[in-house]
């Protein structure tokens, strides 16, 4: 609970009234309150309308931008309904007047906290229901992901081969694992092979195993991935990178459901379900004779598409919060939450690296975050710049910024972007911005943009 009032006597009285049942923090101004809000989670704010500098109504508007937004009880010294009505119109949960009645205040505080706890419980229950409806290990409420989940459930009970297609970093292996977990083979092994990471001269031995003495380094018999996955699922990741020389042997194994170890003397029956994945255009690879058409048709019995993250922005915030929660559960970092501005920046980013890029961004932001809330400044530089530009646009639209201040902000971010792209080489940055180096330098001085220390030229020794 945060008490925001510039009168020490009022703060002391409120602390005395509430400290027995609640953990209480204090602030004497809007700026001090914002610092407390960044440093610790707050469930309720007791907020004076009249504060030095910025008013309590301004802080109320700031609270509404947070996610989740803590409720506020406004405190006013006047019994005029105008101020209270305005505060309620701006989103205050309730109000009290000075001098306040202790019992009335306790009742209002308790009622608002109970309502907040109930709302959080509803959100948690909805999240659990959503998690129960989603396949294991996968998140997504977007239409594309819900369609993928329905397809997963429909094909899980089959032994038909599945080909998962999607860009790098979208989580194709998670789809393969979910398919395995939903299948009757869930209690049997799930074995993953990255076909692009194994040298061509070793891939056959890796898949089918080898007998002792089959080649120079074969000092012992070794079973391959097919045998290791017996009864379960074999996931062939990046199958589009599989060497042409090995493709006929893989095709035969899939057709006949038996393999032969390198150096072996006879076939070995295997019962595995094949799930493959690729980011390549396999139809094009077939047309260019880089992938066998008969193998393509054998693995593409059930095609599944993993949509890129840019096509499902409604899933971004949930995924980001999932990564933050997982970090907290693993004990690496204290719990973090996204500010509303950071959430908007994440949702508007194109995410060329997909879910993998988002996970890395959240790991970085959680490490750099000084309080409990991740702000735009904590995000990777490109994301932070996008978020600042969005904030300038919204501030201009909402009438919170003048045109001059917004234009100056846009100019600063665009000049910085050009400098970053050119390694802070002012000549190349000026060409990029279609201006002169001298004009760029004058602009940098006016905007307060200085060369990073590592870019500064060493001064000559005296």
Residue-wise pLDDT for 8-30, tens only, equals 888 888 888 887 778 888 999 88
Beta bridge partners of 210: 222, 262
Q: Which of 127, 152, 175 is the last residue of a domain?
A: 127
pLDDT-derived band at 433 (thresholds 50, 70, 90) equals confident
One domain for residues 157 and 298: yes
Percent of the chain with pLDDT over 90: 28
The alpha carbon of residue 159 and the mean position of all alpha carbons in its chain are separated, in whole angstroms, by 33
The pLDDT value recorded for residue 15 is 87
Residue 312's SS3 state is coil
Q: What is the CATH number of the domain that holds 425?
A: 1.10.10
CATH of the domain at 328: 1.10.8.60
Tell me the range of 191-205, 231-245, 260-274, 447-461 where mean pLDDT is highest: 231-245
Residue 461's pLDDT band, with cuts at 50, 70 and 90, is very low
Q: How far is 27 from 11, CA to CA, in rounded Å?
A: 9
pLDDT tens sequence across 290-335: 999 999 999 999 999 999 999 999 999 999 999 988 888 877 677 8
Beta-carbon contacts of 58 under 8 Å, excluding residues fewer than 6 positions away, are 30
Predicted confidence (pLDDT) per residue in 150-207, tens digit? 999 899 988 899 999 999 999 999 999 999 999 999 999 999 999 988 888 888 888 9
- Among residues 26, 32, 47, which one has the least CA distance to residue 98? 47
Give the total number of structural domains in the chain.
4
- Does residue 415 have a pLDDT over 70? yes
Average pLDDT, the chain: 83
Bridge partners, residue 194, by sequence = 237
Query: CATH number, domain at 268?
Result: 3.40.50.300
Task: Give the Å distances, CA to CA, from 439 to 32, 89, 417, 430.
Answer: 40, 48, 16, 8
**Domain CATH number, residue 17:** 3.40.50.2300
Strand 268-269 to strand 94-97: parallel, antiparallel, or no bridges (unpaired)? Answer: unpaired
pLDDT tens-digit readout, 357-404: 999 999 888 888 887 888 888 888 777 776 566 665 666 666 666 777
Per the document, the length of the chain is 462
Structural domain for 436, as ranges: 402-462
Residue for token pair 């290990």: 137
Q: Rounded distance, CA 113 to CA 37, Å?
A: 17
Q: Which residues contact 288 (CB under 8 A, 6 or more apart)?
A: none
Is residue 262 located within the same domain as residue 387?
no
What pLDDT does 252 receive? 92
pLDDT digit string (tens) for 343-357?
Answer: 888 888 889 999 999
The residue written with tokens 């602009």 in the block is 443
Integer Cα distance of 242 and 278 in angstroms: 10
Average pLDDT estimate for 28-51: 85
Share of the chain above pLDDT 70, in %: 86
Q: Is residue 138 part of a domain?
A: no
282 lies in the same domain as 374 = no
Q: CA triplet 432, 435, 438: central angle to 5 degrees? A: 115
Query: Within this chain, do residues 58 and 122 fall inside the same structural domain, yes or no?
Result: yes
Residue 404 backbone dihedrals phi, psi, to 5 degrees: -65, -45
Task: Please state, in angstroms and as integers, the Cα–Cα distance from residue 80 to each residue in 57, 108, 191, following that order.
Answer: 16, 19, 71
Residue after which a domain boundary falls, among 69, 98, 127: 127
Q: Is 255 in the same domain as 160?
A: yes
Q: Is residue 244 part of a domain?
A: yes
Residue 222 within a domain: yes
Q: Which of 101-105, 214-218, 347-351 has the lowest mean pLDDT?
A: 214-218
- pLDDT for the residue 189: 93
| Same domain? 289 vs 339 | no
Backbone angles phi, psi at 240, to 5 degrees: -65, -15
E strand map for 188-300: 190-194, 209-210, 222-223, 233-237, 258-259, 268-269, 273-278
**176 with 303, same domain?**
yes
In a domain? residue 240: yes
Both 170 and 28 in one domain: the answer is no
Q: Last residue of a domain, which of 307, 339, 360? A: 307
122 and 172 share one domain:
no
Where does the pLDDT of residue 460 fall: very low under 50, low under 70, confident under 90, or very high at 90 and above?
Answer: very low
- Give the pLDDT confidence score for residue 454 in this predicted structure: 52
Report the distance separating Cα 13 and Cα 296, nearest Å.
75
- Same domain, yes or no: 153 and 266: yes
**pTM, entire model:** 0.62
- Domain-located, residue 134: no
Domain annotation covers residue 279: yes
Q: 71: closest CA among 138, 117, 38?
A: 117
Contact 373, 38 (CB under 8 A): yes
pLDDT at 280: 93
Whether 135 is covered by a domain: the verdict is no
* Judgement on whether residues 82 and 207 belong to the same structural domain of the protein: no
In a domain, 137, yes or no: no
Closest among 278, 296, 283, 204 to 241, alpha carbons compared: 278
- Residues pairing with 76 in the sheet: 97
Average pLDDT over residues 219-230: 85
Mean pLDDT of 66-89: 75
- Asked if 183 and 287 sit in the same domain, the reply is yes
- Mean pLDDT, residues 60-67 taken together: 78
pLDDT of 130 above 60:
no
- Measured at the alpha carbon of residue 180, what is the angle toward residues 174 and 182, in degrees to the nearest 5? 100
């Amino acid at each position: 609970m945060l008490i925001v009032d510039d009168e020490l006597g009022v703060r002391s009285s409120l602390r005395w009234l509430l400290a027995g049942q609640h953990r209480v923090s204090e602030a004497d101004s809007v700026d001090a309150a914002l610092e407390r809000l960044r440093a610790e989670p707050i469930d309720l704010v007791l907020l004076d309308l009249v504060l030095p500098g910025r008013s309590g109504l301004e802080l109320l508007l700031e609270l509404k931008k947070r996610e989740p937004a803590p409720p506020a009880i406004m405190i006013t010294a006047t019994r005029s309904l105008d101020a209270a009505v305005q505060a309620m119109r701006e989103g205050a949960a309730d109000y009290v007047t000075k001098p306040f009645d202790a019992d009335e205040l306790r009742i209002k505080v308790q009622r608002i906290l109970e309502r907040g706890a109930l709302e959080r419980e509803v959100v948690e229950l909805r999240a659990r229901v959503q998690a129960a409806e989603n396949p294991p290990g996968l998140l997504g409420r977007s239409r594309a992901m819900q369609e993928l989940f329905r397809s997963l459930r429909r094909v899980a009970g089959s032994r038909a081969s599945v080909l998962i297609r999607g860009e790098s970093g979208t989580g194709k292996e998670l789809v393969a694992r979910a398919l395995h977990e939903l299948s009757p083979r869930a209690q049997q092994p799930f074995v993953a092979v990255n076909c692009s990471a194994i040298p061509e001269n070793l891939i056959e031995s890796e898949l089918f195993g080898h007998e002792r003495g089959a080649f120079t380094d074969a000092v012992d018999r070794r079973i391959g991935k097919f045998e290791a996955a017996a009864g379960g699922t074999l996931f062939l990741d990046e199958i589009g990178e599989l060497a042409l020389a090995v493709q006929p042997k893989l095709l035969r194994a899939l057709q006949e459901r038996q393999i032969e170890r390198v150096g072996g003397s006879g076939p070995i029956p295997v019962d595995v379900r094949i799930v493959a994945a690729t980011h390549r255009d396999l139809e094009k690879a077939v047309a260019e004779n880089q992938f066998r058409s008969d193998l393509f048709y054998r693995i593409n019995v059930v095609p599944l598409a993993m949509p890129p993250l840019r096509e499902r922005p409604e899933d971004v915030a949930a995924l980001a919060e999932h990564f933050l929660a997982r970090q907290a559960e693993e004990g690496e970092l204290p719990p973090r939450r996204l500010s509303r501005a950071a959430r908007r920046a994440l949702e508007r980013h194109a995410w060329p690296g997909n879910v993998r890029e988002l996970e890395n961004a959240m790991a970085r932001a959680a490490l750099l975050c000084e309080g409990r809330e991740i702000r735009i400044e904590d995000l990777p530089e490109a994301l932070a710049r996008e978020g600042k530009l969005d904030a300038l646009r919204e501030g201009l639209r909402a009438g919170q910024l003048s045109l001059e201040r917004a234009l100056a902000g846009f100019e600063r971010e665009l000049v910085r972007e050009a400098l970053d792209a050119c390694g802070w080489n002012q000549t190349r940055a000026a060409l990029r911005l279609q201006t002169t180096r001298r004009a760029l330098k004058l602009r940098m001085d006016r905007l307060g943009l200085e060369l990073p220390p590592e870019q500064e030229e060493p001064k000559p020794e005296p």
